[in-house]
Structure 1
Amino acid sequence: MAEVRAGVDALDRELLALLGRRMRFMDAAARIMDDLGQVRDEARKAEVIANVVASAAINGVPPNLARDLYETLVEASIAYELRQFTTLARGQ
């Protein structure tokens, strides 16, 4: 069991590193957008989630789990990007 837990912990560190990379793209998006209205793009959100769900089973992930995780991830990313955009717009 210790090996399994160590493997999970190592994988969690890798996932967090990947999430950090994903958030840097949110930083980049906040820098290049012209107005706040561009941050929330429901069509893009639906596309991202659909892509993930389509790839989930291939990767051994239950599609409903992938959908729920990415709903949360995308909403958190939007909130983060909104904060970044607002901070940049204020010149801070």
Structure 2
Amino acid sequence: MVKCHTMAEVRREIDRIDRDLAKLLAERQGYIEQAGQIKGERSAVRDEARIEDVVQKALAAATQHGLSPAIAEPVWRLLIEKSIEHEFTVFDAKTQKSAGFDAKTQKSAGFDAKTREAGK
């Protein structure tokens, strides 16, 4: 850690760390997306044992690096919950696409939203 003498220096270092965190979180998200593609069952997306394992490993790493568990635990739990939400989105999109539904165009086997409305 750099010893700062002004608030400008502190802010510059925090901004640098935030950029690094964003890069690491984007990398983590990529693996979450791969998991959503790999898992065969929607019920496999949320794994309570894995959640607790990840939290415990994060808390151990936090302690090792001097990060307060009072900061680390809620941050990791929120990160995990948001990651699970994203993984469900990826999994559901994969499932819909394999069933012939394209979530991006909202079309299913030649049956689009306008066709559904007209058929009411």
TMscore range, shorter length = over 0.9
Higher RCO (CA-CA < 8 Å; seq separation 6+)? 1
- AA of the residue aligned to 1:56: A
**Gap runs ≥5 in structure 2:** 1-6, 103-120
Higher helix proportion, which one?
1
CA distance in 2, matches of 1:53, 1:77: 18
Match of 1:84 in 2: 90
% of aligned pairs identical? 35
Match of 1:69 in 2: 75
- Taking the TM superposition and a 5 Å limit, the aligned residue runs for 1:11-90 are 11-90=17-96
Name the TM-score, length of structure 1 as normaliser: 0.96
Larger Rg: 2
CA distance in 1, matches of 2:70, 2:16: 24
How many equivalent pairs are there? 92
**Gap runs ≥5 in structure 1:** none
Kept after mapping to 2: 8 A contact 1:53/1:67:
yes
CA deviation digits over 1:24-82, x for unaligned, max 9? 00110011110100000000000000111112121110012111100100000000000
Match of 1:8 in 2: 14
Kept after mapping to 2: 8 A contact 1:53/1:64:
no
